[in-house]
Amino acid sequence: MSDSPKGKWLLLTLLCFAGAMVYTFPFLRYSYYDTMKEALGVTHTQMGLMQAVNGVAATFGYIPGGWLADRYSPRKLLATSLIVTGLSGFYFSTFPSYVGGLFLYGFWGVSTLIIFWAPFIKATRNLGPDAEQGRLFGFLEGGRGVFGFLIGMFTLFVFKEMGEGPTGLMWVINISAVVTIAAGLTVWLIFEDPPQGTASESLFQNFSGALKTPQVWVIGLIIFCGYGLFASQSYITPYMTGVMGAVVTYGVLMGILRTYGVQAIGAPVSGIVADKIGGPSIVIGFAFAIAALCMSILLMVPPELKNLAIVSNVMIVLALCVFALRGNFYATFAESKIPMHTMGTAVGVACFVGYLPEGFTYPMIGYWLDSYPGLPGYQITFAYMLGLSLVGILATLFLRRINRQNESEERSRVG
- Residue boundaries of the structural domains of the chain: 5-192+206-406
User: For position 258, what pLDDT does the model report?
Assistant: 80
Q: Quick one: pLDDT at residue 200? A: 47
CA 365 to chain centre: 18
Burial (CB < 10 A; 0-12, 13-18, 19+), residue 3, is exposed
pTM of the model: 0.75
Q: What confidence score (pLDDT) does residue 204 get?
A: 64
| Torsion angle of C-alpha atoms 337, 341, 342, 345, degrees rounded to 10 | 130
| Amino acid making up residue 221 | L
The CATH number of 5-192+206-406 is: 1.20.1250.20
Per-residue pLDDT of the chain (415 residues; tens, 9 = 90+): 455 565 778 888 999 999 989 988 888 877 788 888 889 988 888 888 888 888 778 777 777 777 777 777 888 899 999 999 999 999 999 999 999 999 999 999 888 888 888 888 888 878 877 777 778 888 887 888 788 888 888 888 888 888 878 899 999 999 999 999 999 999 998 887 765 555 545 556 666 777 778 899 999 999 999 999 998 998 898 899 889 988 877 887 887 788 777 877 887 888 888 888 878 889 999 999 999 999 999 999 998 888 999 999 999 999 999 989 988 888 888 888 877 667 777 888 888 889 888 778 888 998 999 899 989 999 999 999 999 999 999 999 999 999 888 877 777 766 5
The predicted structure's pLDDT at residue 351 = 83
φ, ψ for residue 348, nearest 5 deg = -60, -45
Count of C-beta atoms within a 10 Å radius of residue 47: 22
Give the Cα separation of 251 and 246 in Å (integer): 7
- Residue 286: per-residue pLDDT: 95
Residue 30: per-residue pLDDT: 72
